[in-house]
Amino acid sequence: MTAAPDDVETPMTPRHSWPTRSVTRTLGAAILAAATMAVGAAQAPASAAEKAPPAPPPMQVVVDAVVKEPLKQTVPVIGRLVGRITGLAARVEGSIAEIRADVGDRVGKGDVIAVLVADQYKWEHELRQAEVDQFAAIVNTQKAKIALRRQELSRLERLKESAAFSQARLEDKRLEVAVAESEAAEAAGRLASARANLGMARTNLDNTAIRAPFDGMIAKRMVEVGVYVKIGDQLVVIVDDSGFEIEAEIPSQYVAGLPPRTKVDVSIAGAPAVTARVRSVVPAEDPQNRTRTTRLIPEVPVDPDDRPAGLRNLADSQSLTLHIPVATTEDAITVHKDAVLARDGGRLVYLVQGGEALARNVILGDAVGNRFVVKSGLKAGDLVVVRGNERLRPGQKVLFEAAPKNGGAKQDAETTSAPGKSG
């Protein structure tokens, strides 16, 4: 056999090569980096936990309950206030001596508003009083004459059987009695006429003081001191602001639901809502508008000073809105309007459950006074945030208190729809 040369490798014999020092260093650096990353990964959650912000404290809010209540449908009708308003006129003529009330002054029934110069009427009264006294004396004289003539007649009648009796004289005395009685009757008539004249003079004298016919306020003054007025000339205008009524033209199709004493809600601009009771529906229909005049009595204190702010300065012909009931439907779920927030073109409320505020999308219906009809998203008894909800976040802890009763649900909810076209 021939031996292989030394510089030729045999194919079946593998050749082992060992790593150099540089490779060893690179491998060690890679292992160290991997270990460092592993340690960092292990410590990352603890570091993130240490840097996370603390949970916000519970927010104080006010809640209101979602309720189920009868739903009444109403239609708005424009009405106006109607009060007693009168122009106070002179009942006798004369010059204005004094004016005791000006525009804006409040007066009571019987208060003196103005005074006329009364000298002439005083002397007229004195003259008529003297005539009464004169005719009263004449009547007394005639009564005495009658008594005397009757006494003389009685004596003559007792002498009928006497020789001194005269039939002619008896007849004359009977005529004298009749004349005396006639003169007495005439005097009595003159006395009655004098007393009537005295009564008129007293009335004229009293009418020189112009008095308020009812409680009210002076709305206008047309005269000044010194002006001569005639009978019927207006001096002032008085408005009775304690006895306003409401007048409205109600479409005839709604009149059937307005029997006497029916309660109707009333809205007055700048004033709290009030109720009024139907007093009467005039049985006459406007053939053009198909409406009937209806009178209602607002339920407000008689004394303006006892009324809440906004109702103290009511005025004759002031406009208002009546919410006339037209139908009653089934019960409806309603939520307070302050609970509803607009978000991304939708509506949501914050529902309080388990001490947390949960955002809930809702679909709403008609307005119900200060509430909305809920079509979906809530049920009766749910508590929703009505104050403090603008700054809430979903899932935030809350501490809550109930809303005041006057801010909650009404006993009978009412929807407002557009008035139908009357025939």
Q: To 5 degrees, how large is the angle CA 360–CA 363–CA 365?
A: 140
pLDDT digits (tens, 9 = 90+) for 323-352: 998 866 678 899 999 999 998 889 999 999
Whether 65 has a pLDDT exceeding 90, the answer reads yes
Q: Do both 306 and 341 map to the same domain?
A: no
Would residue 234 count as lying in a domain?
A: no
Q: Do both 79 and 98 map to the same domain?
A: no
Render 244-307 in DSSP notation, one character per residue. EEEEEEEEGGGGGG--TT-EEEEE-TTS--EEEEEEEEEEEE-TTT-EEEEEEEE-S-SSGGGS
Nearest CA-CA partner of 368 in 405, 331, 421: 331
Q: Do both 280 and 258 map to the same domain?
A: yes
Residue 289, domain CATH: 2.40.30.170
Would residue 291 count as lying in a domain?
A: yes
Q: Do both 308 and 343 map to the same domain?
A: no
Range of the domain at 96: 84-211
Would residue 89 count as lying in a domain?
A: yes
Q: Do both 301 and 339 map to the same domain?
A: no
Residue 386, domain CATH: 2.40.420.20
Instruction: Please indicate, yes or no, whether the overall pTM of this predicted structure exceeds 0.85.
Output: no
pLDDT digits (tens, 9 = 90+) for 82-128: 988 888 999 999 999 999 999 989 999 999 999 999 999 999 999 99
CB within 8 Å of 370: residues ≥ 6 apart: 336, 337, 407, 410
Residue 132, domain CATH: 1.10.287
Number of domains within the chain: 3
Would residue 341 count as lying in a domain?
A: yes
pLDDT digits (tens, 9 = 90+) for 3-44: 444 444 444 444 444 444 444 454 455 445 554 554 454 455
Q: Do both 342 and 384 map to the same domain?
A: yes
Residue 184: per-residue pLDDT: 83
Would residue 50 count as lying in a domain?
A: no
User: Can you tell me which residue has the tokens 């090569």?
Assistant: 17
8 A C-beta contact, residue 119 and residue 140: no
